[in-house]
Amino acid sequence: MISSPDSTFTNKTMLDLPFLRKEVSELSEKVAEFIYKEAQDFDKDDIEVKSFNSLVSYVDKEAEKKIVERLRELLPQAGIIAEEGTGTPKEEGFNWIIDPLDGTTNFVHGIPVYSISIALAFTEKKEGKTKTELLVGVVYEVSRKECFAAHQNGGATLNGKKITVSGENELGKSLIATGFPYEDFDRIEDYLFMMGKMMKAAHGLRRLGSAAVDLSYVAAGRFEGYFEYNLNSWDVAAGALLVKEAGGIVSDFEGNEIVENYIFGRQIIAATQIHSQILKLVKDVFLKK
């Protein structure tokens, strides 16, 4: 169990990860109820534009406030890496990585694919090297009331039932997910070419609009793979742990499976055993220059 609020942990082994997983799952469900309620009467006039095609609403901000408030009670010494800027990250030790509403554009337009994504990471620095581990990951898909949860070495679940990645090992029989660039268009031609190659190679290609949901669906065996670039840590941290705990493979576009590479490196491939097949296609396009 978590000790008193004023206790300070410097070692991840002192945490009760199943307890944190349960608490974060319950927190996500409560915040999802708020988001779902607000969605019923949401007015597009209430949105703000952070940058080109990057939207935020009072719902994102209020959801983040509710999440951070509770997470600080659970682990007060942890830093906060959150999309809307609440809290301060820590270079070493624990960090909560939070997206209060992944898929804001969908939410704003009334498209029912958006989620809450919360992960707990632990970073340590030794001999000039930095190592990050993902300890807890929860993605709550609001509209379908689906809670995907995992903790390190504890497996992955959907609404409490164990999930595993698909057993499909042929790309030609696999359904693949991706995301579209929405503000960084420097490599748009490469990306369009990549999607063309994937459409020809796979059973199908989908774009849902929430990276956290895409990754959760890979973990649950609904998609066989997912790839995207120009992402932030809060988009993928929880989902990446879900995939790994469900038996999948996660890497960056070079095939490196080091956590910090695909969490903070702004590119990710998550898949079943077809990972190597997706990786080859991605390398052929994105690493050719």
Domains of the chain: 12-163 (3.30.540.10), 171-286 (3.40.190.80)
Residue 83 assigned ligand-binding role? yes
60 in a known ligand binding site? no
- For residue 3, the model assigns a pLDDT of 35
Per-residue pLDDT at 2: 38
- How much of the chain, in percent, has pLDDT values that exceed 70? 88
Q: Exposure pattern of 211-222 as b/e (b: 16+ CB <10 Å)?
A: bbbbbbbbbbbb
Q: Which residues pair with 149 in a beta bridge?
A: 138, 157
| Rounded Cα gap, residues 200 and 108, in angstroms | 32
For residue 5, what pLDDT is reported?
36
The residue ranges of the chain whose pLDDT is under 70 are 1-11, 13, 42-56, 182-185, 288-289
Cβ atoms 112, 24 nearer than 8 A: no
Please tell me whether 101 is known to bind a ligand.
yes
Q: Which two tokens stand for residue 67?
A: 């999440």
| pLDDT at residue 53, rounded to an integer | 37
Q: What is the predicted pLDDT for the residue at 59? A: 86
**255, 114 contact by CB (below 8 A):** no
Is residue 68 a contact partner of residue 98, using CB atoms and an 8 Å limit? Answer: yes
pTM of the model: 0.91
Which amino acid does the sequence have at 184? D
What are the backbone angles phi and psi of residue 66, rounded to the nearest 5°? -65, -40
252 annotated ligand binder: no
